[in-house]
Amino acid sequence: MRSPSTAPFIERLSSRGSRVAAFVILAVLVAPMLVIVPLSVTSGTLLIYPIPGLSGRWYEEFFTDALWVDATWNSIVIAIPTTALATALGTSAALGLNRLRSRLAPAITVFLITPIIVPIIIYGVAAFYYFSRIGISGTYLGLVVGHTVLAIPFVVVTVNASLKNFDPNLLRAALVLGATPRQAFTRVTFPMIFPGVLSGGLFAFVTSFDELILTLFVSSPEQRTLPRQLWSGVQETINPTITAAAVVLMMVSILVMLLAEWIRRRSSKMQGKP
């Protein structure tokens, strides 16, 4: 936030030049994604501008072609259990770690979020190797397990953040006023961290829904997900159906992002913060 007193220097440096530069960069950052939106509703078969006319034929193909429909279905079927598992495990891990006053706690937290740090290619290949040995490679179970591992860190991070904002005095107050520990949890702790849990779950969903690298290694053709179908489509021929699929994936991400943002605003309002 800018206070009036900081203005002069900032003004001098952020002269018109740097401002223009920033907006050009911003445009370049966003434009490539927007450019494919009109192309997905072209009536022609080529990905060129100006588009000859509007048509929903590529979306129609996307929503009727067995390959794309199956892929979409697979993505949903895998993302839902992944979200549930990752949210449950991540939340309990965060709660447990928060209560653990041991010196090990930070180390465990770091361990829990290592899947973000380790390049996914390594985990993808390793999971392929290990899952084949234990017989879950090429199964839905294998993919759900793999995606859950990748999604847990996001849940741990968001729930941890909401626990940091949580005032432990509230819990003490509830206990003093005669609530059982169980009641205190369900009536006080959980409602307070619920927004964090919810956005963690949203992160988990997007992680699974957009995941490609692990899926490439662990899935068999039967479990081909939307990103995987898009990947093989891009390598063969770029046609407007691919842009339609890309727009659908993009819309899912944007929707989830808006939802997460809405939750964040609501919860900060609830806690009386700006």
Partner 1 sequence: MAVFFAVPIGTFLSRSVDNTELVGMLPNTMDAIESWDGAGLPDEPVFEALGEDFLAITDITAAAGLGRRLNHNITGYRSLVMRTFSGLRDHAGPLGRDELIQIDDRWGEPEFWRVLRQERGTFTSLYLLASLDLENTADGIHRTAPENRLFVDLLTRTLWISLAVTVLCLIFGFPLAYVMAASGPRLSNWILVLVLLPFWTSLLVRTTSWIVLLQRNGLINQLLESLGLIDEPLSLIYNRLGVYIAMTHVLLPFLVLPLFSVMKGVGSDKTRAAAGLGAPPLTVFRRVYLPQVMPGIIAGCSLVFVLSLGYYITPALVGGPRDQMIAHFIAYFTSESVNWGMGASLAGILLLTVVLLYAVLARVIGFDRLKVRQ
Residue 8 binds partner 1, judged by CB under 8 A = yes
Using the minimum distance from each CB to partner 1, give the nearer residue, 80 or 248.
Answer: 248
The DSSP secondary-structure symbol of 51 reads: P
Residue 22 binds partner 1, judged by CB under 8 A = yes
The DSSP secondary-structure symbol of 138 reads: T
Residues 87 and 110: their CA atoms lie apart, in Å, by: 18
Residue 100 binds partner 1, judged by CB under 8 A = no
Nearest CA to 70 out of 234, 260, 219 is that of 219
Number of residues that bind partner 1 (CB under 8 A): 83
Residue 21 binds partner 1, judged by CB under 8 A = yes
Q: Would you list the DSSP string of 157-168?
A: HHHHHHHHTS-H
Q: How far is the CB of 235 from partner 1 (least distance, A)?
A: 7
Nearest CA to 219 out of 89, 74, 50 is that of 74
Residues 206 and 191: their CA atoms lie apart, in Å, by: 23
Q: List CB contacts of 196: < 8 A, sequence separation 6 or more.
A: 158, 159, 161, 162, 163, 267
Using the minimum distance from each CB to partner 1, give the nearer residue, 58 or 203.
Answer: 203
Residue 118 binds partner 1, judged by CB under 8 A = yes
Residue 58 binds partner 1, judged by CB under 8 A = no
What residues between 199 and 258 interact with partner 1 by CB under 8 A?
A: 203, 206, 210, 212-213, 216-217, 227, 230-231, 234-235, 238, 242-243, 246, 249-250, 253-254, 256-257
Residue 195 binds partner 1, judged by CB under 8 A = no
Residues 193 and 162: their CA atoms lie apart, in Å, by: 6
Residue 268 binds partner 1, judged by CB under 8 A = no
Using the minimum distance from each CB to partner 1, give the nearer residue, 89 or 192.
Answer: 89
Residue 13 binds partner 1, judged by CB under 8 A = yes
Residue pair 198/261 in contact (Cβ under 8 Å)? The answer is no
Judged by CB under 8 A, the residue of 146, 195, 196, 201 near partner 1 is 146
Using the minimum distance from each CB to partner 1, give the nearer residue, 68 or 184.
Answer: 68
Nearest CA to 89 out of 174, 14, 23, 153 is that of 153
Residue 129 binds partner 1, judged by CB under 8 A = yes
What residues between 160 and 189 interact with partner 1 by CB under 8 A?
A: none
Nearest CA to 140 out of 229, 215, 232, 65 is that of 215
Stretch of 33-41, 71-79, 168-176, 186-194 contacting partner 1, by CB under 8 A: 33-41
3-state secondary structure of 42: strand
Q: How far is the CB of 122 from partner 1 (least distance, A)?
A: 5
Residue 62 binds partner 1, judged by CB under 8 A = no
